[in-house]
């Protein structure tokens, strides 16, 4: 039947369609290409690049925190952690976090 064939075509398109690239809409990170994650951008979610060495990151909030970030960032890439950036010219601790080697 024609409806049955349309369902098969739709399923094949979903399975064979390439994963999302930067700016493409997504529901979860598996919808995005390698090197990207699915993150909130205003009131939708899009594929954004995973953060690299030296890029500003967002420290994970405590569990139970319900604050809504409208511009989420991806996590740091594998082998990196989101740590406080220590400015060599300042003795005070900065609140800025950047992706750094573990």
Each residue's pLDDT expressed in tens, for the chain with a length of 102 residues: 554 544 444 444 445 556 889 999 999 999 999 999 999 999 999 999 999 999 999 876 665 555 567 889 999 999 999 999 876 555 555 678 999 998
Cα 30 from chain centroid (whole Å): 10
Check: pTM over 0.75? Answer yes or no: no
Domain assignment of residue 25, yes or no: no
Domain assignment of residue 12, yes or no: no
Q: For residue 85, what are the CA distances in angstroms to 9, 44, 66, 79?
A: 50, 30, 25, 17
Residue 83 sits in a domain whose CATH number is: 2.10.80.10
Domain assignment of residue 82, yes or no: yes
Domain assignment of residue 4, yes or no: no
Domain assignment of residue 61, yes or no: yes
**Count of domains observed in the chain:** 1
Q: Could you tell me the residue range of the domain that residue 74 belongs to?
A: 51-101
Q: Tokens standing for 68? A: 């809504």
Domain assignment of residue 95, yes or no: yes
Domain assignment of residue 13, yes or no: no
């Amino acid at each position: 039947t024609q409806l049955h064939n349309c369902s098969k075509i739709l399923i094949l398109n979903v399975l064979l369609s390439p994963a999302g690239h930067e700016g493409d809409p997504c529901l979860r990170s598996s919808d995005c290409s390698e090197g990207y994650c699915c993150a909130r951008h205003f009131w939708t979610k899009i594929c954004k690049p995973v953060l690299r060495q030296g890029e500003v990151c967002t420290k994970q909030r405590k569990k139970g925190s319900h604050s809504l970030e409208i511009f989420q960032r991806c996590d740091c890439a594998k082998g990196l952690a989101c740590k406080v950036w220590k400015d060599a010219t300042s003795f005070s601790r900065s609140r800025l976090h950047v992706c750094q080697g573990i």
